[in-house]
Each structure stands twice: as structure tokens, then as C-alpha cells.
């Protein structure tokens, strides 16, 4: 007899009741329908390309646990007296410390607006060290590979190829409920990406400072290049017989219209006083804040933004480079949260981090190598903050989570992490396994770090 999973149960209970009450209603109209929404919510993904050494970002600060950490990390350990102490509400480890460059995040954590999800990473199913060593568990392919693990975080594909990302699948699920929006649900300020790729919806890709106008055109009627722009518009708005010509024209037409609408909205946005750092990430997050400021003008109800920064592949010079990298993350995210407070939407905007993978506890002499599980940060007014979620590992070489060289087996899956965010975003429970395909393999679909 087949065992019902969560999705099957919901379909055969709540969905069946709808069918009984509404004869002739198509099944597809029940499953996967979300919205229309009467509130605004946005998710902001901050991706740290290269693999963040997050066991220096969040460090156990009690005597025994810090001792294991310092012994494993060797010359890369943060001196205990330099750590910025934080006190989680209910962690089994009483005290932790943040990297000394992350004062802004300490302030957000202490105020209850930030939390950490610990030792999280791509998994197909719960995995123990014994199962890993004897090959009795299904693993994501190509562990420790940059491109493959970036794709794992973006798509949650497990060991099944996927051309869509979990943000793209969310946009597909809610598209009928946000049809009035004048901008795509998904927007990237760091190029096209798998995370926002979808079957039916299209992400809007812009530059770090906003929409990119067509080169050689002008929106100023007094500029000679304005007529070239209008001539191009007439070309793409013409009627064509070939399906390929029509498809190409539609893409160009959509790009022109989106750039016009979004640029005009941003130009009309209220000034934002939050002091963003003059960095790549700071510029992107400032633009996100400006887009959120014009959400009503663009009739936006749901948005997912993708921003990113690099430099985290710390094989060399980690002690020199890490303070600036983590300080840059802290300063940009803190400024962005201040902007959401200024705009009155802090409870409606959640920022979260992702990275290729964690890094080895062991030093290679001047840095660290590719690993697996790591810690991620979640910030926003709707976060159940001042807390750690998941199981923080013993940072000991050869310990129960170490599969070699201080590579930690994740105790929490990226699917659980994504599903918790998706549920807050408004995805019905029945569709969470569309967003996170391996979710049913884990006992806790909701990690509890969001107020829903």
C-alpha cells in the first residue's frame, strides 16, 4: 500500500472537499493556486559566490566548543576575545560569537530582527557519517564543485536535472494571483540565473543601479537618439508571419516596455536616507530598496530579488580578506534593513543568504578548501530572531559530522530552508514540494524561523 506524503494527504482531504462542492472544477485550478494577495511580501536572496567560510562568521563561544573550534581551525581561528558575543534564546550551546567585522548583524540579532540557520546545505535525504562512508545514502552529485553546488542551491534539484529554480517555480505557482503586477515577480540585479528560471514566467534582469536601456537609444525626446529608439519600437511592434520573428519581437518589446515602466517608477521614488556602503552589493540593495519604495505604483504584491557578490573562494589570504568580505555583507544588509524600516515594510521584506558551500575546518596553510554544510543568515521584521535554527555541529576534526578534512555533513537541508521562506511568501503547503522537491524526505518542512 502506498504511503501518503504531505502533498497527497492535502490533495485527498481539502482538495477533495472543494471538488465535491464545485462539480466540474478542474483539478489543476485547485492545486497550485495562490492569491490574489491583499498584502505585500518580498524575498531578497543575497548570494555569496565562492563558498563562504561561515564557521568563522558564527563561532561557538563556550569553553569546550570554542576549544574544539580553535584546535580544528588552527591559524584561521578568530581569537575568542575578538568575537562579538550573541546569546541565542534556546540553543543547546549557551553563547556564540560573530566575526568582529559584523557589528551591524550583531545589532540586528540582538534586536530580534536576525537569525541563523546552522549547518545547512543541499541534501537529498537525511545523511549520517556512516551512510556517507558506506555509500548507503543518496547524495547530491558533484559535492564540493562550485558550479554544481551553486546550481543545487538555486534549483534544489537533488540528483535529478532541473532547468528551473525554486524562485522561478514560486513565480509560476502564484502567477494567476499577481496578474496585475507591472513588473515580473522575479527580478535580478546580478544577471540571469537558474534560481529565478521558470517554466512559464520570465525574470526581469536589470543592472545593479536599475534597468539597462538599449545601447544607442535615448528616452529624451530632445536627443537625436530618441528617434532611433522609436524606429526600433516600430520594428518590434510590426506584425510578422513567422513564429520565430514574432517571438523575438515580443522579447524586445517586453524589454523596452519593462525598462520604461520601471525606470519611470524609480525616478519617482521617495529618497532613501539609509547609508548604503559604496560597494557592488550596497548598490544592488539600494536599488532593491528603491524598487520596493514604488511597489504600489507598480501594483506589486509579491517580489523575489536576486543580488550577489563574490570573492569568497578563500583558498589563500583568508585572514587578510575575510574581514572585508564579511564586513561588506554586514554593512550592506544592515543598511538595507534600515531602509525597509524607513519605508515601513520591515515586516514584509525578508533577506536571506546563500553560498556555494561551507569550507573546510582545517587550514591549507593560508586559507580553506571546498566543503559542504554551512551557516546562513536571515534578516527581517517577520523573522523569529535572536535565535539559531537547526543543529550546530561539533567543530572537531574527525567528529560525527566530519566526512574528511573538516567537511561538515549538513544537518538541515536547503529544501527545508527554502520551504520555510516559501511558506512565509504565500506558497500553499500543498505546493511546497513543488518549490522544494526533496522536502518530503525530511521530518520538519518548516524550520520555524519565520513568523507566519
Burial readout 220-232 (b: 16 or more C-beta within 10 A, e: otherwise): eeeeeeeeebeeb
Distance between CA 159 and CA 318 in Å, rounded? Answer: 32
Q: How many domains does the chain have?
A: 1
Q: What is the pLDDT of residue 94?
A: 83
**Is 10 among the domain residues?**
no
pLDDT in tens, 43-85: 999 999 999 999 999 999 999 999 999 999 999 999 999 999 9
Distance between CA 250 and CA 235 in Å, rounded? Answer: 11
Nearest C-alpha neighbor of 413 from the set 117, 196, 142: 117
User: Distance between the two ends of the chain, CA-based, in angstroms?
Assistant: 35
Position with higher pLDDT, 364 vs 3: 364
Lowest mean pLDDT of 3-7, 281-285, 291-295, 436-440, name the range: 3-7
Q: Give yes or no for residue 243 having a pLDDT over 80.
A: no
**Angle, nearest 10°, between helix axes 280-293 and 318-343?**
10
Lowest mean pLDDT of 186-200, 206-220, 380-394, name the range: 206-220
**Is 87 among the domain residues?**
yes
pTM of the entire structure? Answer: 0.88
In 326-425, beta strands by DSSP E = 349-355, 374-379, 387-389, 412-413
Distance between CA 204 and CA 222 in Å, rounded? Answer: 28
Distance between CA 439 and CA 420 in Å, rounded? Answer: 10
Decide: helix, strand or coil at residue 447: coil
User: Nine-digit cell at 309?
Assistant: 557578490
Q: What is the pLDDT of residue 103?
A: 98
Distance between CA 40 and CA 309 in Å, rounded? Answer: 26
**Is 222 among the domain residues?**
no
Position with higher pLDDT, 32 vs 185: 185
Q: Does the N-terminal peptide bond of residue 36 adopt cis geometry, omega within 30 degrees of 0?
A: yes
Question: What band does 238 get if pLDDT is binned at 50, 70 and 90?
Answer: low
- Taking residue 155's Cβ as centre, other Cβ atoms within 10 Å add up to 24
**Is 427 among the domain residues?**
yes
Q: Give yes or no for residue 340 having a pLDDT over 50.
A: yes
Q: What is the dihedral of CA 280, 407, 411, 356, to 10 degrees?
A: 20
pLDDT in tens, 293-324: 999 999 999 999 999 999 999 999 999 999 99
Burial readout 395-411 (b: 16 or more C-beta within 10 A, e: otherwise): bbbeeebbbebbbbbbb
Q: What is the pLDDT of residue 33?
A: 59
Q: What is the pLDDT of residue 212?
A: 74
Q: What is the pLDDT of residue 429?
A: 95
User: Nine-digit cell at 174?
Assistant: 502564484
Q: Which helix (H) or strand (E) holds 119?
A: strand 114-121
Can you give the CATH number for the domain in which 287 is found?
Answer: 3.40.720
**Is 341 among the domain residues?**
yes
Distance between CA 288 and CA 303 in Å, rounded? Answer: 10
Q: What is the dihedral of CA 130, 134, 136, 139, to 10 degrees?
A: 80
Question: What band does 259 get if pLDDT is binned at 50, 70 and 90?
Answer: confident
Distance between CA 285 and CA 276 in Å, rounded? Answer: 8
* Residue 241: strand pairing partners: none
**Is 221 among the domain residues?**
no
Decide: helix, strand or coil at residue 91: coil
User: Nine-digit cell at 374?
Assistant: 554551512
Q: What are phi and psi of 25, to 5 degrees?
A: -70, 130
The boundaries of the domain holding residue 176 are 40-210+273-441
Q: Give yes or no for residue 28 having a pLDDT over 50.
A: no
Q: Are 43 and 304 in contact (CB under 8 A)?
A: yes
Distance between CA 130 and CA 128 in Å, rounded? Answer: 5
User: Nine-digit cell at 380?
Assistant: 527581517
Position with higher pLDDT, 267 vs 1: 267
**Is 206 among the domain residues?**
yes
Q: What is the pLDDT of residue 267?
A: 87
Burial of 64 (0-12, 13-18, 19+ CB in 10 A): exposed
Question: What band does 101 get if pLDDT is binned at 50, 70 and 90?
Answer: very high
Q: Give yes or no for residue 187 having a pLDDT over 90.
A: yes
pLDDT in tens, 361-399: 999 999 999 999 999 999 999 999 999 999 999 999 999
Average pLDDT of the chain to the nearest whole number: 88
**Is 315 among the domain residues?**
yes
Amino acid at each position: 500500500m502506498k504511503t501518503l506524503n504531505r502533498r497527497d494527504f492535502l490533495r485527498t482531504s481539502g482538495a477533495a472537499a472543494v471538488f465535491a462542492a464545485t462539480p466540474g472544477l478542474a483539478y489543476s485550478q485547485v492545486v497550485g493556486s495562490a492569491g490574489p494577495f491583499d498584502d505585500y511580501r518580498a524575498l531578497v536572496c543575497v548570494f555569496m559566490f565562492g563558498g563562504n567560510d561561515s564557521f568563522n562568521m558564527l563561532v561557538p563561544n563556550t569553553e569546550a566548543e570554542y576549544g574544539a573550534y580553535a584546535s580544528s581551525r588552527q591559524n584561521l581561528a578568530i581569537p575568542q576575545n575578538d568575537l562579538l558575543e550573541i546569546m541565542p534564546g534556546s540553543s543547546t550551546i549557551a553563547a556564540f560569537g560573530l566575526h568582529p567585522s559584523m557589528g551591524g548583524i550583531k545589532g540586528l540579532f540582538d534586536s530580534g530582527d536576525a537569525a541563523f540557520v546552522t549547518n545547512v546545505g543541499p541534501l537529498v535525504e537525511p545523511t549520517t557519517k556512516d551512510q556517507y562512508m558506506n555509500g548507503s545514502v543518496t547524495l547530491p552529485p558533484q559535492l564540493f564543485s562550485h558550479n554544481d553546488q551553486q546550481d543545487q542551491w538555486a534549483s534544489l534539484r537533488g540528483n535529478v536535472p532541473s532547468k528551473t529554480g525554486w524562485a522561478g517555480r514560486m513565480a509560476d505557482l502564484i502567477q494567476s494571483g499577481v496578474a496585475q503586477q507591472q513588473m515580473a515577480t522575479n527580478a535580478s540585479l546580478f544577471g540571469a540565473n537558474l534560481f529565478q528560471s521558470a517554466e512559464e514566467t520570465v525574470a526581469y534582469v536589470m543592472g545593479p543601479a536599475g534597468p539597462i536601456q538599449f545601447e544607442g537609444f535615448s528616452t529624451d525626446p530632445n536627443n537625436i537618439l530618441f528617434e532611433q529608439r522609436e524606429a526600433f519600437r516600430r520594428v518590434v511592434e510590426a506584425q510578422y508571419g513567422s513564429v520565430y520573428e514574432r517571438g523575438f519581437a515580443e522579447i524586445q518589446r517586453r524589454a523596452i516596455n519593462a525598462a520604461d515602466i520601471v525606470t519611470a517608477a524609480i525616478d519617482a521614488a521617495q529618497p532613501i536616507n539609509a547609508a548604503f556602503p559604496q560597494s557592488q552589493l550596497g548598490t544592488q540593495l539600494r536599488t532593491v530598496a528603491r524598487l520596493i519604495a514604488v511597489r504600489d505604483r507598480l501594483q506589486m504584491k509579491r517580489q523575489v530579488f536576486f543580488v550577489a557578490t563574490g570573492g569568497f573562494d578563500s583558498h589563500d589570504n583568508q585572514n587578510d580578506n575575510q574581514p572585508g568580505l564579511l564586513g561588506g555583507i554586514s554593512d550592506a544588509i544592515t543598511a538595507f534593513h534600515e531602509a525597509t524600516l524607513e519605508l515601513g515594510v520591515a515586516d514584509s521584506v525578508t533577506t536571506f543568504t546563500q553560498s556555494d558551500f561551507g569550507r573546510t575546518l582545517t587550514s591549507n596553510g593560508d586559507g580553506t578548501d571546498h566543503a559542504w554544510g554551512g551557516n546562513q543568515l536571515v534578516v527581517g521584521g517577520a523573522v523569529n530572531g535572536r535565535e539559531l535554527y537547526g543543529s550546530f555541529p561539533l567543530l572537531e576534526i574527525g567528529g560525527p559530522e566530519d566526512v574528511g578534512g573538516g567537511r561538515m555533513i549538513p544537518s538541515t537541508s536547503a529544501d527545508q530552508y527554502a520551504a520555510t521562506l516559501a511558506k512565509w511568501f504565500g506558497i500553499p503547503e500543498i505546493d511546497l514540494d513543488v518549490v522544494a522537491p526533496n522536502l518530503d524526505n525530511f521530518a520538519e518542512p518548516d524550520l520555524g524561523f519565520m513568523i507566519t
